Amino acid sequence: MAFVHKMLASTYILRKCPKPSIGLHPLAGIHFADYSSNRPQKPVAATGKAFSQRKTQGGLQEHHQQEVALDTISPEEKPEVSFDKAIRDEIKDHFWRLKDELVNHWIGPEGRPLHEVLLEQAKVVWQFSGKEDLDKWIVTSDKTIGGRSEVFLKMGKNNQSALLYGTLSSEGPYDGDSRQSGYCAMISRVPRGAFERRKSYDWSQFNTLYLRVRGDGRPWMVNIKEDSDFIQRKNQMYSYFMFTRGGPYWQEVKIPFSKFFFSNQGRVRDVQSQLLLDKISFIGFTLADKVDGPFFLEIDFIGVFTDPAHTEEFAYENSPEISPRLFN
């Protein structure tokens, strides 16, 4: 009976004791439980530990959210995208380019004094020293009609040249229509002025095309296109062959403009005419020698110059029987 009376008294005292509040430190709750009873009060200790873990996790989450908030931009701080502003900026840029073109026109051709242009004997038109120079060119192949050829363009060693490479395949497309295939080409982009106006190159004071290349021994076709507004002349161009020697050494290729022959849709015409150099639209290089396999062509620069030893104006004869309209 004494033992029962002692247990009831201890239970009564435990009920009278104040319970640990949430605001107290977890250790205070554990110490109070140990002081009030000889048995461990697991629920109280577990509550304090759970509160400590929740507080710790909450603090870590809050700290992580603060770090993320420092790295990200809130929706209120995101830059506003405005198409009207983009259009205004584009128009403003084109007007500035138009102003520069007008000023350069009054100064002289391409913004240089006229006497410098007239005395110029050589000119580098395309050179390759960075990615912005590669953006002035387009590469294409017979893949556009379902062929198997591949062509790529990248910077050469030391970023001082352009390397055109790929694989030529004469296998025709399986479309039941095309019979011939197997070509790769590299074409310069048409120069554009303010408001996307089409411009042209004036090479009228030069008589020879000048290139420094290094190839694998394959023959290439060099094509020059005149600038024309007539849709009937969109497939007309002037072409001549360029033969590479192969090997590790560079070669300088000089092709007089008088040697370029007239072709339409890839076919040499009977009626030949002289290439007009005052309005040149673009220049291109085409490989179509029907030899399947890899190829490469490395180009250092492309320019024009005046060869005083070359006096020929036109290399191809025309007779009344071949082209009677030229003699009417």
Examine the domain organization and report whether 202 and 264 are in the same domain.
yes
Given pLDDT bands bounded at 50, 70 and 90, which one contains residue 29? very low
In a domain, 310, yes or no: no
For position 240, what pLDDT does the model report? 96
The CATH number covering residue 196 comes to 2.60.120.430
Beta bridge partners, 123, equal 304
Region 140-163: mean pLDDT is 92
> Which three-class secondary structure string do you get for 254-281?
EEEHHHCEEEECCEECCCCCCCCCCCEE
181-240 pLDDT, tens digit per residue, is 899 999 999 988 777 788 899 999 999 999 999 999 999 999 999 988 777 677 889 999
Domain region containing 265: 120-305
C-beta of residue 238 within 8 angstroms of C-beta of residue 318: no
**135 plus 105 within the same structural domain:** no
pLDDT value of position 90 = 77
Top-ranked range on mean pLDDT: pick from 97-101, 226-230, 241-245, 315-319: 241-245
Which among 188, 190, 204, 192 has a CA at the least distance from the CA of 109? 204
pLDDT of 277 above 80: yes
- Domain annotation covers residue 65: no
Contact 147, 141 (CB under 8 A): yes
Q: Is the pLDDT of residue 5 over 80?
A: no
- The reply to whether 299 falls in a domain is yes
Both 143 and 210 in one domain: the answer is yes
> Lowest-confidence range among 181-185, 228-232, 278-282, 321-325?
321-325
* Same domain assignment for residues 172 and 259: yes
Q: Quick one: 130 and 157 in the same domain?
A: yes
User: Do 111 and 142 fall within a single domain?
Assistant: no
DSSP lists the bridge partners of residue 288 as none
Claim to verify: residue 141 and residue 93 sit in the same structural domain: no
Asked if residue 181 and residue 100 are part of one domain, the reply reads no
For residue 43, is it within any domain?
no
In a domain, 29, yes or no: no
Q: Are residues 97 and 127 in the same domain?
A: no
pLDDT of residue 180: 74
- Let me know whether 142 and 93 are in one domain: no
Question: Is residue 100 located within the same domain as residue 172?
Answer: no
The answer to whether the beta carbons of residues 166 and 150 sit under 8 Å apart is: yes
Q: How many domains does the chain have?
A: 2
Domain membership of residue 296 (yes or no) is yes
Q: Is 176 within a domain?
A: yes
Same domain, 98 and 181: no
